[in-house]
Amino acid sequence: MFSTGFFARFHYPVLKSTVAPPSTSLIDLPDLRLDNACALLEHDARNSQPQRDESPTEYLQRVIDSLCELSLKDPLTGLGNRRHFLSALERQIETVARSGESVLLLMLDIDHFKSINDTHGHLAGDQVLRTIAHCLARCVRPVDTVARYGGEEFAIILPNCRPLFGLALAERIRRAVAELSVAVSPLLTIQATISIGGAYAPEWVRSTTELWIERADTQLYRAKANGRNQACIDQPQELSVSAEEKGLLFSHLATDNANPFESGQDNVTNRVNA
Amino acid sequence: MNDVLDSAAQNPGAAQVPLRPLGKVLAVTSGKGGVGKTFVSANLAAALAKRGHKVLVLDADLGLANLDVVLNLYPKITLHDVFTGKATLEEAILPAPGGFSVLLAGSGMVEYSRLTSEVRNEFLRVMNSLVPNYDVVILDTGAGISDVVLFAVSLASEVLMVATPEPTSLTDAYATIKVLVGQQQRQTVRVIINQATRPGSGAAITNQLQQVLDRFVVAGLNQPIRLIHMGDIPVDPEVRQAIMRRQLMMQATPGCPAGMALTQIARNLEESVIPRPA
């Protein structure tokens, strides 16, 4: 779920190693305590032990990188967590402010998730969360960010997504989830649906993550209120005038052309039509 | 599910906007830039002041408006100093030519072009202390529909939409009206057509806008939207002259066609939204 580009943006402080030959013991930093970090990494099924061919710097770098990755990941689903999501959203706002690119934010919420938990137990609920998370990750492009926002709520950031495609895309995701059967046990499969709310970042404007999420949430609320298992998108504001609307708007100009610009006193008037 | 309901109900942004304007707050806005928002704000303020109203114009574009240029005022103390706590509100309010007061933003305000909760709260605080002291507060907002513009407009009791008869201006005005209706549940928008080329063309344009709104926007809502044509400001060489000379048109040549049109718009506002001065 993590693109390498994201991590490349971080500049890790380089711990200067004065010892030239690679060593498996950290002789320079005798007070360094990595036990907790190693336990965390082991828990996530990662190799936390120094490797034979690794210098102390390389080893520490690897531990720090792994910890950073862990701190941005949701342990249950493997998706980005809320911290990862917010920093990605913040970066998109900067991009939009400079480039005017259209970026879509989707907020997704599993319908009646509480009753799944209550009826089938929390393990079944977790299974539903994991299966839907994988499905969402499969539905989008590598440049998109899929994250678990919290509880049964997910978020997807889609850079460079044309306003024309927003609703169709959200619908495709909604359908993909609705078609899932979550095999909880050999005898039980659960079908779950999601509601989706989406909002585009206002183009050329440096908005805030709060306002953007608020607008997507409003649409999600609309989708819920309209009966769930549907997608509602707040269309971008600047592009919201269709060709049809424009045609009707400008029909007065045609008549203006028929009576070209009138010169003389009649043209300059103080008559006001209230 | 409950999370969604709660977060929408508590709506962190909207919770900050309980302001009910006590006096009349008019937001002058436009979809497109360069259609004469600031010209209308300043000269309408002068026209209202001449008729006995106590008027203040606030640069709600937070430093990006050309209000200082139009009024030829470059003060040391601005709204920026008020926001940063370096000066009191009273110190930043200036008398403008034309008999009204003005609160300029100052160039430092560009950093406030991002609507943070801090900017919201400062803005609200300033508005709450201003509004009771004036008959009319005019917000000269920015072009477009940025967060700051929409927030400033949300504080106004009336929206004055300035447009020219050009297609781009009309498209942007229409798009802005749609946003105001959709996001702020505005039911009335007042239209001023600037640089009108023919008598009656403004009314026709407003009528046209109304028809398109009725057909494409109102159909999806359960409330009507009413556009009210407040008047036309004709193309007038005196306007250009005043701008080039850095003079306020209402002060230099109030009797010119554009000046008389603005006086008429002030009169129309008195009849509809502003109580006549005592």
Q: How far is A183 from chain B (nearest CA, A)?
A: 23
B21-272, CATH topology level? Rossmann fold (3.40.50)
Q: Domain A82-234: which CATH class?
A: alpha beta
For a pLDDT cut of 90, what percent of chain B falls above it? 44
Alpha-carbon span A26 to A32, nearest angstrom: 8
Give residue A133's pLDDT: 97
Q: How far is B161 from chain A (nearest CA, A)?
A: 14
Alpha-carbon span A30 to A18, nearest angstrom: 14
Q: Under a CB-based contact definition with an 8 Å cutoff, are residues A232 and A224 in contact?
A: no
Whether residue B107 lies within 8 A of chain A, CB to CB, comes out as no
Whether residue B18 lies within 8 A of chain A, CB to CB, comes out as no
Which of the pair, A211 or A202, is modelled with greater confidence?
A211
Say what the pTM is.
0.58
Range of A54-68, A123-137, B9-23, B221-235 with top mean pLDDT: A123-137
- First-residue to last-residue Cα distance in chain A: 60
pLDDT of residue A273 exceeding 50, the answer is: no
Domain ranges of chain A: 31-71, 82-234
pLDDT, mean over chain A: 81
Residue range B41-68, pLDDT digits in tens: 999 999 999 999 999 999 887 756 678 8
Other beta carbons less than 10 A from residue B239's beta carbon: 22
Residue range B249-269, pLDDT digits in tens: 999 999 999 999 999 999 999
Alpha-carbon span A110 to A228, nearest angstrom: 9
Residue range B64-104, pLDDT digits in tens: 667 888 888 888 888 888 988 899 999 999 999 999 999 99
Domain ranges of chain B: 21-272
Give residue B66's pLDDT: 74
* Chain A residues 131-160 with a CB less than 8 Å from chain B: 150-153
Give residue A14's pLDDT: 44
Question: Does residue A179 have an active-site annotation?
Answer: no
Whether residue A248 lies within 8 A of chain B, CB to CB, comes out as yes
What is the DSSP pairing of strand B226-234 with strand B136-143? Answer: unpaired
Residue range A59-89, pLDDT digits in tens: 889 999 999 999 999 999 999 999 999 999 9
Per DSSP (E only), the strands in chain B are 24-30, 55-59, 93-96, 100-103, 136-143, 158-163, 188-196, 226-234
pLDDT (mean) for A51-64: 89
Give residue B237's pLDDT: 93
